[in-house]
Structure 1
Amino acid sequence: MTRQDRQPWRLGPRGERWFDVGLTLFLLLPVPAFLIYAEVPDGLVMLAQIAPLAWRRRHPVPVFAAVAAASAAQVLVTDYPLWSQLAFPVATYSVARFSTTAWSLGALAVGMLGAGVAAGDWVKRIYSSESHAQDVTAYFITIALFVVVAWALGTLGRTRQAYVDALVERGERLERESAQQAALAAIEERHRIAREMHDVVAHSLTTMVVQADGARAAAAHDPTVTAPALGTIAATGREALAELRGMLGVLRSEEPGPQAPQPRLSDLAALLDEARAAGTTVVAELPGEASVVPDGVALTAYRIVQEALTNVRKHAGPATAHVLLAPDAGALRVEVRDDGRGAAAADDGRGLGLTGMRERVAAHGGTLTAGPAPGGGFAVCARIPW
């Protein structure tokens, strides 16, 4: 363990309690002797000054008041210094350490006043009727020094404790904020995975269902058309399974590993060919190969086109889909329109396709509109800035 790793030794609550009791008992050791062999009033004053210190941490202000009152009574009982006067600096320290700034300043002022009274009383007793100003000053400075040092140490301890408490509170707040951010990140990741799985499953299953329905209808007239349809179904199913295995593998893995590359704009041509093979007429206008689009924007555009074409196959019936992707002043404009009956069979409220589109576009600060197109059909229009 290095020196930096060592924690300072501290008393626990029980140790602090026993320390205060031990300190009080130590200061009380001479009191029985005063009560038996010396003046009883002096012994009682000593007992009144020392005994309250046992509660100095929990009740610093009342303890200081009791000690100060007993010290004031000492002036009336005796003109000599007593051992028990050590209790006054201890009580002053306790107020400065465990109470507020206002109470500590009040205790300091009372201590200064008490130092002046004690200095004058003792000098008067020692020098009888003669009072020397320099002697009073010397006694006052000596007594006041005890009070000031005790007050300064207590104030320093209270300031340091406040600083430590502030650091602890800040650390706890940062820990809570970190936990909240981790929870939000986990929720966002679950949403992202849900969108990805929805896009993959919905697109692939829709293609497979359309191909299967078409093959079944055509098989009665020409059985030879079933072979290409079954091939498309098999290829689509394998592609969907590969993507799902990749996503589920990432979820199961405790450490990040290599992931399959995400679709880009260059993959749109294959997506459109797949849609045409499934029986959808697609007219596309895609950006040239020279167009540079960030990967995140490209993935969002790909998923929008994929989901929109899936909706065309599900809802539009016999229709032509028009796909447009074009750069637009620091953004990518994506439009998918059809001339079928998709407007009449719009989202039934149970699907997540349009919701996923909006979330993807909103993550980039873009906008998306989806609804019936003028003249019939359905249109999805998005603008994704980068």
Structure 2
Amino acid sequence: MDELRERPGPPWRRWVERTGRGPAWRSALLVAVFAQVGAGWAAHAQSGRVALDGFARLLLLLGPALLVARHRHPVAVVYAVSVVTLVYVGAGYPYGPVFLSLAVACFAAVVAGRRRAAWGAVGLLWAGHLLIGHWLYRWLPPAGDGPAPWSQEVAVTAWVLAILAVSELVRLRREQWARERAERRAAERRRVDEERLRIARELHDVLAHSISVINVQAGVGLALLDSDPEQARTALTTIKAASKEALGEVRQVLDTLRAPGEAPRTPAPGLDRLDELVEQAGAAGLTVDVAAEGEARSLAPGVDLAAFRILQEALTNVVRHSGARTARIRLAWRPRALELRVEDDGPATGGASDGSGNGLVGMRERASALGGDIEAGPRPDGGFRVIARLPLPASAGGEEAGKEQA
């Protein structure tokens, strides 16, 4: 089932899906290097801010170091990084990559489902920056600094909202991908279950029919072994033929399991083998009368196989559960359906006789898989009846007849 395997997505998608599960120290190291280098460039561009010293470098390392634990403790890390960033801003150091650590911490918190913590940490940074820029600047370095322009606050607010918006978008995408993966896995399980059910139906139909014929012929052979050796030989010949055919069909089913996706080596049985089915039933002591109504036409492989298996299982049930020695098969070719009818007149000899046996369940599953239905149950005047209806594409003749009647 190679087609069911998940295909790898684009690199950016795989990176986002791995976020929160892979090693955190690699990205933290990358942020630390970028913060150290970028802060130096920012210091040259912002001559009015406090020059970078050892404490500034330590704060620029502390933020990325906290990111190492962001997957295990997202709430604590996002608040701690927010405090470190506020201390850096309050100390008067130049703006720049110091905010990257908080962005990564907020991203991890939102993706981990800690949205309130991310919003709270970002709100803490925004409120602290507002206090520092418009009130606490009098007591904080650099000396002689005035109130921050409101355009700067607008820029900080936009930056904060952008971080949260991107984090929320990534969270939603991750949840969507998780749902898609779950749906693909569920679809794969359903397909596996359907394939297992199909194989179980095939094996049941093949083995039930063949073993029923073998069982009947074995009883005949044992009964006639001394009195009529020639008839016993005929019974043994029938057993050999039935077992050979069963082994061939079972091998075909098992080959499908060993090499999934390959075409079967032998064609699946269909209504063209109905005569063989009648002969096998005759070898089991059941005389079968076959009649057809309407114009026969070619069937799709799935419908052809289902029709054959339904007739096979119906005759098997007659052999196993009915005392009848005759059965009737009627094929009715309708414009939009093929109706299969199997009837017998004999009394039940044991087993399920109300249409609830495992074989009948398999017939119903085959019919319903094609959009058809099965009716099975005792006849009012004795015996048992199975009626299967399998939908077919409308024939040209049937459509023209329907138009003329209209």
Same fold (TM over 0.5): yes
Give percent identity, aligned residues only: 32
Deviation string, structure 1 residues 9-40 (Cα, Å, up to 9, x no partner)? 999544677789999999xxxxxxxxxxxxxx
Note the 1:56-67 alignment, pairs <5 A: 58=76
Q: Kindly provide the amino acid, as one letter, of the partner of residue 262 in structure 1.
A: A
Q: CA deviation at 1:268?
A: 1.5
**What's the offset of the Cα at 1:97?**
7.1
> Hey, what's the Cα distance between the residues in 2 that align with 1:256 and 1:321?
38
Note if 1:274 corresponds to 2:280. Answer: yes
Where 2:243 maps in the other structure, the secondary structure is: helix
Report the equivalent of 1:286: 292
Distance (whole Å) between structure 2 residues aligned to residue 67 and residue 218 of structure 1: 100
In 1, distance between residues paired with 2:226 and 2:321?
25
Instruction: Kindly indicate whether residue 312 of structure 2 is the aligned counterpart of residue 315 of structure 1.
Output: no
* Gap runs ≥5 in structure 2: 1-9, 38-49, 68-75, 107-116, 393-406
Aligned partner of 1:193 in structure 2 is 199
Letter in 1 for 2:362: G
Give 3-state SS (helix, strand or coil) of 1:317's partner. coil
Shift of 1:158: 3.2
RMSD: 4.7
AA paired with 1:320? T
Contact 1:90 1:150 in 2 (8 A): no
Q: Which residue of 2 aligns with 1:206?
A: 212
1:336 is matched with 342
The residue aligned with 2:185 is 179
Provide the residue aligned with 1:240 in structure 2.
Answer: 246
Residues 95 and 60 from structure 1, CA distance in 2 versus in 1: closer, same or farther, beyond 3 angstroms?
Answer: farther
Deviation readout 1:327-382 (Å, 9 max, x if unpaired): 3452222221111112x524189962122112212212322222211111111122
Q: Which runs of 5+ in 1 are unaligned?
A: 27-41, 75-81, 127-135
1:93 Cα offset (Å): 8.9
Query: What does residue 345 of structure 1 align with?
Result: 350
Question: SS in structure 2 opposite 1:324?
Answer: strand
Secondary structure (helix, strand or coil) at the match of 1:282 reads strand
Is 1:374–2:380 an aligned residue pair?
yes
Q: CA deviation at 1:240?
A: 1.1
1:164 aligns with 2:170: yes
Change (3 A) 1:93 1:210: closer
Distance 1:19 1:264 in 2: 66
Letter in 2 for 1:177: E
Residue identity matched to 1:330 = R
Q: Secondary structure at the match of 2:332?
A: strand
Alpha-carbon distance in structure 1 between the residues aligned to 2:11 and 2:341: 61
Q: Alpha-carbon deviations, 1:119-146, whole Å to 9, x = none? A: 9999xx98xxxxxxxxx9xx753x642x
Partner-residue secondary structure (3-state), 1:286? strand
Check whether the contact 1:108–1:148 (CA below 8 A) recurs between aligned residues.
no
Distance in 2, matches of 1:89 and 1:118, equals 23
Q: For the structure 1 residues 215 and 302, does the alpha-carbon distance in structure 2 shift closer, same or farther, using more than 3 Å as the test? A: same
Contact 2:209 2:316 in 1 (8 A): yes
Following TM superposition, by how much is the alpha carbon of 1:200 offset from its aligned partner in structure 2, in angstroms? 0.8
Give the TM-score taking structure 1 as reference length: 0.69
> Does structure 1 residue 302 correspond to structure 2 residue 308?
yes
Moved more, 369-378 or 169-178: 169-178
Q: 2:270 aligns with which of 261, 264, 267?
A: 264
For 1:64 and 1:209, how far apart are their aligned partners in 2?
Answer: 82
Go from structure 1 to structure 2 and tell me whether the alpha carbon gap of 1:231 and 1:93 turns closer, same or farther (over 3 Å shift): closer
SS at match of 1:259: coil
Matched pairs, number: 343
What is the letter of the counterpart of residue 369 of structure 2?
A
Who wins on radius of gyration, i.e. which is larger? Answer: 1
Q: Is the 8 A contact 1:333 1:381 kept in 2?
A: yes
| Contact 1:94 1:154 (C-alpha < 8 Å) held by counterparts | no
Q: Secondary structure at the match of 2:162?
A: helix
Q: Give runs of aligned pairs for residues 65-214 of structure 1, distance below 5 A.
A: 84=92, 86=94, 94=102, 98=106, 100=118, 104=122, 108=126, 111=129, 115=133, 140-141=148-149, 144-145=151-152, 147-214=153-220
